[in-house]
């Protein structure tokens, strides 16, 4: 996954919709959360504060930040001969 945007969404005159934000949200995993966060933030940046796509996008940005740091369970029980991995959570 890269930071490159869909030609449809980056076309001149494209009006950002809630569906555009949802399309990006669909691929969210801890591994790609920060890249998706950046793409959504860039997509919604020019929108008015009360635009439905921006409201959803801002909520998704917060969710993706949490997912990136704590959405992956690590540091559980180790298997024989292995150490448990440290958690990525900072709390």
CB 44 within 8 A of CB 16: yes
For residue 90, what pLDDT band results from cuts at 50, 70 and 90?
low
Residue-wise pLDDT tens digits, 56-76:
999 999 999 988 887 665 555
Sequence-separated (6 or more) residues with CB below 8 Å from residue 48: 54
What are the extents of the domains in the chain? 7-70
* Stronger pLDDT, 88 or 52, i.e. the higher one: 52
Digit-coded pLDDT (tens) for 10-35? 777 888 889 888 888 886 788 888 99
CA 52 from chain centre, in angstroms, equals 17
70 burial (CB, 10 Å; 0-12 / 13-18 / 19+) is middle
As a whole number of Å, the CA-based R_g of the chain is 17
Q: For the whole model, what pTM was predicted?
A: 0.69
Averaged confidence pLDDT in the chain: 80
């Amino acid at each position: 996954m890269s930071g490159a945007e869909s030609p449809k969404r980056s076309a001149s005159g494209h009006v950002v919709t809630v569906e555009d934000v949802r399309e990006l949200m669909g691929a969210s995993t801890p591994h790609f959360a920060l890249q998706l966060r950046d793409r959504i933030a860039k997509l919604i940046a020019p929108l008015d504060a009360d635009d439905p796509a921006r409201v959803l996008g801002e909520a998704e940005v917060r969710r993706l930040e949490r997912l990136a740091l704590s959405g992956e369970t690590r540091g559980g029980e180790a298997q024989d001969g292995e150490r448990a991995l440290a958690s990525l959570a900072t709390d």
